C-alpha cells in the first residue's frame, strides 16, 4: 500500500476535478486515493480512474482505493458498499 495518498475531500467540481484527479494519477503518480461517501464525489473519482485505465496510464491492480461508510450507512453496509463500487 502506498504511504502517500490523494485525499479527495472537497473535490466536487464535476467540470475541473476529474481532470485534476486524472493528472494526479498519471502525472504525479498517485496510486492511493482516499474517498468517502460523505464527500459526495465517488463518481468524479471513478471518472478519473476509468480515464487513467482506459488511456493505459495505469492498471487497476496498481491503484489502492479507499472509501468510507457514513453513519447513515451502518444499517446496511453491504448495500452502501455496492453503491460506492458502482460510483467508483
The residue annotated as part of the active site, out of 21, 33, 39, 52, is 39
Looking at the 3D structure of the chain, how many domains does it have? Answer: 1
Predicted confidence (pLDDT) at residue 5 exceeds the cutoff of 90: yes
Is residue 1 in some structural domain?
no
Q: Is residue 34 part of a domain?
A: yes
Which contacts of 55-63 are long-range, i.e. CB under 8 A and separated by 24 or more positions?
A: 55/26, 57/25, 57/26, 58/25, 58/26, 58/31, 62/31, 63/25, 63/31, 63/32, 63/33
**Is 69 inside any structural domain?**
yes
**In which domain, by residue range, is 10 found?**
6-87
Residue 50 has pLDDT above 90, yes or no: yes
Indicate whether 38 belongs to any domain: yes
- The average pLDDT across 3-10 equals 93
Answer yes or no: is 15 within a domain: yes
80 occurs within a structural domain? yes
Whether 51 is in a domain gets the answer yes
Mean pLDDT, rounded, for 71-83: 93
Query: 60: pLDDT confidence band, cut at 50, 70 and 90?
Result: very high
Annotation marks residue 30 as catalytic: no
pLDDT level of residue 1 (50, 70, 90 thresholds): confident
Q: Among residues of the chain, what percentage have pLDDT more than 90?
A: 89
Over 90: is that where the pLDDT of 36 sits? yes
Amino acid at each position: 500500500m502506498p504511504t502517500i495518498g490523494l485525499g479527495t475531500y472537497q473535490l466536487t467540481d464535476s467540470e475541473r476535478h476529474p481532470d485534476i484527479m486524472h493528472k494526479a494519477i498519471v502525472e504525479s503518480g498517485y496510486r492511493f486515493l482516499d474517498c468517502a461517501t460523505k464527500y459526495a464525489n465517488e463518481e468524479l473519482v471513478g471518472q478519473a480512474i476509468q480515464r487513467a485505465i482506459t488511456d493505459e496510464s495505469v492498471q487497476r491492480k496498481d491503484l489502492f482505493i479507499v472509501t468510507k461508510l457514513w453513519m447513515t450507512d451502518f444499517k446496511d453496509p453491504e448495500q452502501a458498499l455496492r453503491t460506492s463500487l458502482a460510483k467508483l
